[in-house]
Amino acid sequence: MPPLASFLSFCTLFFASGVFCGSYGLPFIDASYDYVIVGGGTSGLTLAARLAANSSISVAVVEAGGYYEVLNPLSVIPGFAAIQATGTDPSDTDLIDWGFVTTPQTGAANRKIHYARGKCLGGTSGRHFMVYHRGTAGSYQKWADLVGDDSYTFDNLVPYFEKSCTLTAPNTSERLANATVTYNPNVFDNSLDGPLQISWPNWASPLSTWIELGLAAIGIKPGADFNSGSLSGSTWVSTTINPSGESRDSSETSFLSQAMSKTGITVYATTMAKKIIFKNTNVAGGVQVEQAGISWTLTAKKEVIISAGAFQSPQMLMVSGIGPSATLRSFGIEVISDLAGVGQNLADHVMFGSVFRVQVTTSSRVTNDVAWAAEAVVDYASGTGPLTAGGFGVLGFERLPDAVRANLTSSTQTALATFPSDWPEVEYLALDGVLGYWKNGLGQFIDSYEYGSVAAALVAPLSRGNVTITSTDTNDAPVINPNWLTDPADIEVALAAFKRARQIWANVNITIGDEYLPGPNISTDAQILDFIRNSAVQVWHASATCAMGKAGDPMAVVDSTAKVFGVKNLRVVDASVFPILPPGHPQSNCYMIAEKIADDILSGR
């Protein structure tokens, strides 16, 4: 179905919701359900759909936002992902964004940086760059060891990864002949009919075909598969793009859509969760919610489940009395469970890059060539052309080569040795356009040239941040301190990675003139580091702020079944419970953890 037809079909269903089995909760009226889930994002809707599939279970989802397709129609088009309020400028926000801004980041030139998060059904899956791949076998073994539960090893997690999605092979008739996709279909199981669509866009970035060669020249070879437990080499990465129309697929368009048509799920959209309600001191019994300034209560007969993300899940726990006791008491909050780890251990990836003017077509052309842009829109209407892709194609991962590692200090080498041997330190991204300082997406296109960037992202960071609260009110944004680039080891790896990005460009014969950013005059380590600090951009992978761990671990917040320590009938299910942030892009892990915990709940664990 073409994208426009898909959108019109969605609107018809939305405004004639009587055709659904699911329903939209009536505001201002107290109601009771077996499970009340706070947060209709990537994990929340997946979990809700799996629970609601059991007809004997009643499920309500509370989500502060609405439908991103309605609030921001461009969000469904992959080629417009970069301009959907992803910039570092605090003013770069929109209707489906929370508008969060970090504290001044000492490791990033004291900048206050906008941190895009989805305020909509689908959460950040409704606004991110749609990259889908899995972590390494070693990273999941480390996860299993940290939480004392072998069900988190890669082999044991594969069924949960497979359960979520359906894989569609690349359409080679629409892609460049030199953009061959390599993948392992055996780690997907289409017989499970997973709601989430995994595919490759009907467009291959010409820039990426060249960067693939540059990566190979420095030892990062093509032909990898990133869904089988290994991240080494390069490949054209798979994405959550629905091949029927080439539109964004999210937890809302996949899991919620299916649940609304087949189950009795209830959704409270544009409704803010305010506080977990406890009975008998430490038993979660419901959630106070609010819309238009009016509050009411949703009672949970079995469990309350928080799926509000790495920033707002710890906030929700803290305002409800779960967290560091000193913080809670400073706001007059009664301490229900003193858990020092709530809001701590924030892990995130950060990227920066080298930019050149190039002699091939990139996304830059959308803004500087009106006729070409118009043609791209026409092509997209039939599910083809550059707007079917998110402005990237090839990704590469590596553990720094021995020759590079030998130049790192012994303390940095020791720190990196704490990661499993298959855990890469750096990801390289071939990006269409100017990464630069990324204040806002549209502001990156500056003249009639076409631009390309090779970004380097730190995927084994040692720096850790934190999240806390400023009040007892969830309407007040949490205090977000990612603390990027503060560990000395991260600085050394960042310098090495930036130099590697330049080496990639040195093996690519499509550049025009000297390096555009930061420029050839930036050559010393001090100059390069200054550029990195002033231009570093988050990769929007915040996690681990309600970390899973063993009983007795003073920083653990939930156990291996996501139950919150010190209370009953309360779980947290989203990226905040990761005990570590696996290398690369975490979208697949957000679906996996929801599938796994849903299975735990349905199995009585």
42 is in an annotated binding site: yes
587 is in an annotated binding site: yes
Whether pLDDT at 6 is above 80:
no
541 is in an annotated binding site: yes
Q: What is the pLDDT of residues 122-144, one digit of tens each?
A: 999 999 999 999 999 999 999 99
Burial degree of 201 (CB within 10 A; 0-12, 13-18, 19+): buried
Band of residue 14 on the pLDDT scale cut at 50, 70, 90: very low
Which pLDDT belongs to residue 431? 96
Alpha-carbon distance of 534 to 283, in angstroms, equals: 47
Whether pLDDT at 587 is above 70:
yes
Whether pLDDT at 2 is above 80:
no
Band of residue 374 on the pLDDT scale cut at 50, 70, 90: very high
Answer yes or no: are the C-beta atoms of 590 and 255 closer than 8 Å: no
- Ordered structural domains, the chain, with CATH: 3-68+251-346+547-573 (3.50.50.60), 70-113+198-248+348-538 (3.30.560.10)
Q: Which amino acid is at 137?
A: A
Q: Is 585 a catalytic residue?
A: yes
Alpha-carbon distance of 137 to 151, in angstroms, equals: 13
Listed range (13-22, 27-36, 71-80, 123-132) with the worst mean pLDDT: 13-22
Which pLDDT belongs to residue 585? 98
124 is in an annotated binding site: yes
Collapse the DSSP code of 162 into the 3-class scheme (helix H, G, I; strand E, B; otherwise coil) and give the result: helix
Give the number of other Cβ atoms within 10 Å of residue 499's Cβ.
Answer: 15
Alpha-carbon distance of 503 to 45, in angstroms, equals: 43
Closest CA to 310 of 345, 334, 286, 335: 345
Collapse the DSSP code of 394 into the 3-class scheme (helix H, G, I; strand E, B; otherwise coil) and give the result: strand
DSSP string, 319-367: HTTEE-HHHHHHTT---SEE-TTTT--BB--EEEEEEEEESS--TTHHH
Which pLDDT belongs to residue 400? 98
43 is in an annotated binding site: yes
Per the DSSP assignment, residues forming a β-bridge with 118 are: 97
Q: Which residue has the higher pLDDT, 369 or 592?
A: 592
159 is in an annotated binding site: no
Band of residue 3 on the pLDDT scale cut at 50, 70, 90: very low
Give the number of other Cβ atoms within 10 Å of residue 460's Cβ.
Answer: 23
Q: What is the pLDDT of residues 483-493, one digit of tens each?
A: 999 999 999 99
236 is in an annotated binding site: no
Whether pLDDT at 17 is above 70:
no
Answer yes or no: are the C-beta atoms of 303 and 284 closer than 8 Å: yes
Name the one residue in this structure whose structure tokens are 């550029």. 531
Collapse the DSSP code of 135 into the 3-class scheme (helix H, G, I; strand E, B; otherwise coil) and give the result: coil
Per cent of the chain over pLDDT 90 is: 92
Tokens standing for 275? 């506080």
- Average confidence score pLDDT of the chain: 95
Per cent of the chain over pLDDT 70 is: 96
Name the one residue in this structure whose structure tokens are 């009795």. 264
Whether pLDDT at 422 is above 50:
yes
Alpha-carbon distance of 275 to 316, in angstroms, equals: 7
Which pLDDT belongs to residue 84? 87
Q: Could you give phi then psi for residue 310, rounded to 5 degrees?
A: -65, -20
Q: Where are the alpha helices (DSSP H) in 72-149?
A: 137-147
**Catalytic-role residue among 128, 133, 349, 541:** 541
Alpha-carbon distance of 505 to 507, in angstroms, equals: 5
